[in-house]
Structure 1
Amino acid sequence: MENCLLWCKRTRTIYCLVLGLTLVVNCVLMSLLNSHVMSFLPVEHVVTSIKSGITADIHQVETNHDLLLNSIPKTFTSGYMVYTCNNESSVQCGGWSDRLSGILSTFVIALLTKQRFLIHHNHSFLLEEFLAPNEYDWRYNASISQKGNKANYDLMNKDSKKAKKYLYGKKDLDKYFKSYVNLIHINWDFTEVFRARPHIGRDVPWITKWHYADIYKEVYNYLFKPSERLSRALNSQKRRRSKTACAHVRIGKSENLPDDPPRHRESLDTLWNVFDDLDEDVYDLFIATDDESLLKRASGRYPNQIIETDGQIGHIAKLKKGYNTEVSLKMFLDFYMLINCDILILTESGFGMAAAYIRNTDSDLYCWRGPELKPCSRYTVHHMYEGMMLAPPGLFPHITQISDKNKRKAL
């Protein structure tokens, strides 16, 4: 080691310093290992990790965005994998978070099969009217169906069990999705299923490295940006102050949604107490809700602070076939308002969770459970509201068993 350090002084190169430091680390590690202090760690794993840390400043670190871009095939096989939510089908798509989960799952299936990913969405609204392609053109054109055969695949709810052997990786996905145009109806997040696949770290590396929050944020921003129409509507929102405090309050059954099951029923005093304590010279206030009466109460209580978005309160999962532009516009305006809030309060709903995942900050996020607001984060919100964004555990009972088996193989 002494000779190596003398050589460093002569050459004075950064690579030599790295080599010398690596040798020092090796000596220290071997000493610790001989004393059984670190006998529980594989030497190669520790040395490799430390070397990676040493060279991090020399070589550019791969960002999340780079990792996502590198997972996109350079060349596609023939055919298309199409997330489908259309008026022609009798299959229900669910709410906005259900649709985002379906889009994500279809996107991953497209990566695994190396087919082009597209979105065919005209149920309740034409998706392109509110969201435009950002870095990837996902727009569906009916003319592609003329180039080859097409088939519908219903992976909604319990019907998705039929495909589990293929999704797990026990069978070849290409032998399940055999058509030129594969129209997939799906409303579950299958992240845990994909993570159980052999070699998933090679095929789609980011799905094993990222948390749910980062998966949704990176994929959403890769695929989408506000359309010109939505951008104009967002820019027209009147904001008088430098910051915005927001809440998403999913009430459920109400006068404007009489057929919806009851949801959040806690006293609104909890919310009013938070808003009352905020500096009214600093904070505008915003509430996204499915209850018209709640908005009226908030507007009456904070007439000079409340921001109101255009459109009509409703739920896209409850709309009949055809377009409802007013409900859809309000949904997207509310969604982007929540994404850009400085303070965000959530109730139990996938809509609010999705906004929290995509949000640009992790600070000042609170989960409303019972009479209290509990501090939470993009990385813990799914523990607070289990089942709102992910496939229910009972849907795929063998996930844990298969995942553990694959982990043992990897060791």
Structure 2
Amino acid sequence: MIAILIIYTLHLLPKPGAKQRTEEPPYQSDLPDVMKDSRGNVFIDYHDVRFSYDNIAKFISEYEDDFRTFTNYQNSSKYLIYNCDKRCGGLGDRLKGIVSVYILSQLSKRKFGIRMSDPKDLQMFLQPNVIDWRITADEIKGKEHLYIDFKELHQQFAIEMENDDIDPANSIARVKPVDIIFVKANQNWFSTYRKLSVSPDRFPIIYKLPTSDITRIIYHGLFKPSDELQNLVDDFFAKKVKDKHLVCLHARMGEKGFERYSFDDIKLALYFLKHYDRLGGHVIMLATDNKQVKDYAKKTYTSLVDTEFSDDFSHVDHLGSGSVDDRTKEHGFMHAVLDHTILSRCSTLVLTNSGFGVTASAIRHTSDNLFTFPSRSKSVIRTRREVVREIFQWRCFSHLETGYVCDG
């Protein structure tokens, strides 16, 4: 019997004298080659693009070009606006919602906008890129509008859209089609969109690429770093990383009462990083919401580096409280966006259970040296961008009448 082995050939460093691979767009190079070993056994070999910080700009330019192939409805008189005024979830949840609402704007043929004021204006950190998603008050003044909270009603949205095969250009989950629709959302609705009869014509790419690749294209089409954020990222790599390999762990422990990992659990992932600490030529960065983990890292790793925002991490959704001053809100939001941006640019990335890390891996340009640490696995697992979301999918329910299972 021919043994079929799935082998992920992801190397930490190129071997001396090894010929470097020609860089290709990740969604091309991620396609596996069927090969045979010396014994004639068939195996599947993934030729991942080697991570290169220097080539990030080239890849982003390609994603921007891909985004430009989408139909542009920005001159439409009807609007679909991602809305976040309070309690929208963490940064990862917000980005999932933005991507979902953008695709819905394509399906509904509406102009896409973003209005995020909580805890601070999103434009302070991420600015419009290929399209201008900013919406002014004068632009929509006097037009009929409504607000929909699909953060709370995401199951209902998906079930109704799928059951009735609703054309979003005529109705969005049985909501009358007024000129301005504000939507709060924090879910990934790719599965629902792929089941609608209008999708092949209006957004065909959703059938051609995995969710992670489409997320990456939309993210880079919508956003570019603010000057301040870009300067912080450049400064971090120039002064802290230099010519070394950046190894990152996102250790999302969870708030009291909602713990995702205990300190004993996370120790295995922390031990995993010791290998890189001893190798030389590597620096280690931790993004975490837990002081005990941070203190442990400071005592354990000789090659630990951090950004200027090395204080305790504050969850973005908790910064919207009226008791938090503006400076703390701005500092906390920048801390989150900076960590997220750097995680997407780490040579080696280890993820725990968090939408923050899932989206960081999605916008990364390769699966090279990507690992996950699921809370129940008790091991650090080499993985691929395309499956990270499913590994950490959270709280999915089956609907008795429809068999519907949420995207998460």
Give your verdict on TM over 0.5: yes
Shift of 1:308: 3.7
* Alignment partner of 1:264 out of 242, 261, 265: 261
* Structure 2 residue 327 is the aligned partner of structure 1 residue 320: no
**Is the CA contact 2:112–2:133 (under 8 Å) kept in the aligned structure 1?**
yes
Query: Which of 85, 106, 109 is matched with 2:104 structurally?
Result: 109
Task: Evaluate the alpha carbon distance shift between residue 134 and residue 297 of structure 1 in structure 2; reply closer, same or farther with a 3 A threshold.
Answer: same
- Partner residue of 1:86? 85
In the alignment, the residues of structure 2 paired with residue 105 and residue 386 of structure 1 have an alpha-carbon distance, to the nearest angstrom, of 16
Aligned residue among 390, 398, 405 for 2:402 = 398
CA shift at 1:393, angstroms?
A: 4.4
Q: Which amino acid aligns with 1:126?
A: D
2:116 to 115, 118, 121: 121
Give how far 1:240 is off. Answer: 4.2
Q: In the TM superposition, what whole-angstrom CA distance separates every residue of 1:239-274 from its partner, at most 9, and x where no partner exists?
A: 244210000111113xxxx4x511112444423432
Aligned mates of 1:69, 1:133 — CA distance in 2:
14
Moved more, 170-179 or 345-354: 170-179
Gap runs ≥5 in structure 1 = 1-62, 402-411
Whether the 8 Å CA contact 2:66–2:217 is kept in 1: the answer is no
Comparing 303-312 with 283-292, which one deviates more in the overlay?
303-312
RMSD (CA atoms):
2.6
For 1:203 and 1:357, locate their aligned partners in 2 and report how far apart those are by CA, in whole Å. 23
Equivalent residue letter for 2:131: Y
2:387 corresponds to = 380
1:60-82 Cα deviation digits (max 9, x unpaired): xxx87655433323674312110
Query: Which one of 273, 287, 291 corresponds to residue 275 of structure 1?
Result: 273
Match of 1:346 in 2: 351
Question: 1:273 and 1:230 mapped to 2: Cα distance?
Answer: 31
Q: Distance in 2 between matches of 1:75 and 1:252?
A: 39
Deviations 1:90-120 (A, max 9, x none): xx21111211111111111111121110000
One-letter code of the match for 2:190? T
Whole-angstrom CA distance in 1 between matches of 2:274 and 2:295: 17
- Structure with greater proportional helix content: 1
Q: Equivalents in 1 of 2:198, 2:128: separation in Å? A: 30
Moved over 6 A (4+): none
Q: Which string of whole-angstrom CA distances, capped at 9 and with x for unpartnered residues, describes residues 31-62 of structure 1?
A: xxxxxxxxxxxxxxxxxxxxxxxxxxxxxxxx
Q: Following the alignment from structure 1 to structure 2, what is the Cα–Cα distance between the partners of residues 171 and 289?
A: 41
Find the aligned partners of 1:115 and 1:314 in 2 and give their Cα distance: 35
Contact kept, 8 Å, 1:192 with 1:399, in 2: the verdict is no
SS class of match (2:398): helix
Query: d(CA) in 2 for partners of 1:119 and 1:103?
Result: 8
Give the TM-score taking structure 2 as reference length.
Answer: 0.73
Aligned pairs, number? 327
Shifted more, 114-123 versus 297-306: the winner is 297-306
Partner of 1:298: 297
Whether the 8 Å contact between 1:161 and 1:396 is mirrored in structure 2 is: no
2:166 match: 171
Amino acid at match of 2:398: G
Q: Could you tell me the percent identity over the aligned residues?
A: 23
Alignment gaps of 5+ in structure 2:
1-61
SS in 1 for 2:247: strand
Greater Cα shift, 154-163 or 197-206: 154-163
Alpha-carbon distance in structure 2 between the residues aligned to 1:141 and 1:75? 14
SS at match of 1:380: helix
Corresponding position of 1:182: 181
In structure 1, C-alpha distance between the alignment counterparts of 2:74 and 2:241, rounded to whole Å: 46
The offset of 1:189, in angstroms, is 1.1
Change beyond 3 A, Cα 1:309–1:246? farther
Separation in 2 of the partners of 1:66 and 1:239?
A: 30
**Equivalent of residue 371 in structure 1, options 371, 374, 378:** 378
State TM-score, norm by structure 1: 0.73
Q: 3-state SS of the aligned residue for 1:221?
A: helix
Q: What SS is found at the alignment partner of 1:348? A: coil
Task: Name the CA shift for 1:159/1:218 in 2 (closer, same or farther; >3 Å).
Answer: closer
CA distance in 1, matches of 2:178, 2:400: 25
The amino acid across from 1:367 in the alignment is T
Contact kept, 8 Å, 1:93 with 1:317, in 2: the verdict is yes
In 2: Cα distance, 1:98 partner to 1:396 partner: 26
